[in-house]
Structure 1
């Protein structure tokens, strides 16, 4: 701000130096050299006041401002019209520039003190210079108004800053509370998905068995789910959106192979086609999410479709991998699906959304169901 004001004054001084006729042999613009140099020194003093906050540096800078202001007022006097008084704009603007040089201090009191001292020092130097030049001394309302305006602005800004500092702890507490609420919601979603994918699925599989002992294939799935529930606290607090780490074991076999074996133990045959190896190339969280969603879709075929055959197609295109699960079973009306049905919402939609993917379901009663799952190839 000080630099802009001083540059404006320098421009006015140059205009004044060439405006009026001069004596023979005198170069008009040469009359502006001393005032402009004085303004440059004044600007250096203002810069020190803005950037250096030590006591000694402040005193030295104020002396520089005062001396430069006196030299400026004395040297610019010949360029002014005889009718102009000590409150001329050419004399007032440097005072304003000196006044605003103290606004960068660390405390309100120091800002007010430095701004006030700068204004008094520069005003006194300007009045002394113009008095020596024989001009009429009057109250400079521009300089006085600038001081009052700077004082009011500083007080308002520091009051606003103080209020902001006082409100910061409350805002921080609110942010932590919101984070806690979000974490509780995430854990609840994990818990609901974990419950749906283990206990409810196992109970339904047992209910569909005929009389007699439970087959070993079913027992293996139940043992796996019991182990998963025993580690539920660890799994629920793991990161990864709606995916549940540990739901699909990491073995030498691919996740999809293990999934197909589990749904096969329930009597469902799955025809697989496409770029199956693209699943292994996915980010671990994305692969786990899409394979778990595929398993839930195939379990839904077993439970609801009334058929023993489904098709799975894996396709990689661009920056995403898609999986399409199709059956020719009973079908259903998607828009009429109750909101409390957890299979699609928790185990399919939420899993896909949790890794930045998507899930789309098409179904018609009596004409089967198709589900399109997609996940990005790379997660940020």
Structure 2
């Protein structure tokens, strides 16, 4: 098991490798079929001296082109288009060979298996094992039906070829094995991820406990010493006021205590509490989400008003997605910065998803997050995997302060 490559990236790499291998195999089969037909025509085995072979060439060339395009554009529409073109091409290919080549009297020959293998190779382009098996099965079935119809029209015997059947079983077995290995690798990485989160949560709780203990020590100990040393009887008004004020202070929520990084007069602290990011966090907490905030909160003060608003709305949408889709009520918001960039990460350990499978009509991530952040010059990066969780990193450029104009050193008027 590799710790260097995240689980969802490993699955993507395996999926692409399997797709490339199967599609290159399909292209090779189609090229071999084309070469076989041309060689047959050149040797004079076609009944019309080679002229009758051209429908076969017309059937194979579009299939090769569509499969080559599908290697770069792996979408459902392109997959369906290839299946349609491939079914018609396989039918025309088989019908031409059966009618123009007298020596081909049944369909179990290897030459008829080549386009069928190219059709079932479409399964390697699936985004998962089940999807890949379904595509392969559909491609194999359509190709066999096309050959069956061609054999019936040409009055030839239809016999399923063993070669394409073995190719189908091998490809399906590889996809199922890859899914099984992915599940075995998924469990330990999930445990590692959750262990890291538990360590982080424990560290945050420890910091809160230390801060609260320090607050308790500083605010109450002196009053307790004063009470112990005072004369028995009613407390003085001054001491009563101090104790009441400290009780109110200690009754505040621990989250509010942990977010206090300065006095009210501190402009950075004021900017943090008035930022769009804080509003997004507080609104999500009101919705029932438990949010742990870490990092340098004062860095939010470096953003422009437009960036602050865009960041707040984007983070709000990310937290809404956690509540609606992640299946968890906890999230982390981490703030960090370099010399010229501010990054905010929204992290959850929910059910996760595969970004490439996000439906086109899902407006949340595309409009409320990606477009909003990109509009103010930022970028959005998403890491997610099923049953592991999701991390969304929003990165914004820190505006360069404009230097105030200086007066000329020339003589005064």
TM-score tier, shorter chain, comes to 0.3 to 0.5
Q: Which has the larger radius of gyration?
A: 1
**TM-score computed with the length of structure 2 as normaliser:** 0.37
**TM-score computed with the length of structure 1 as normaliser:** 0.40
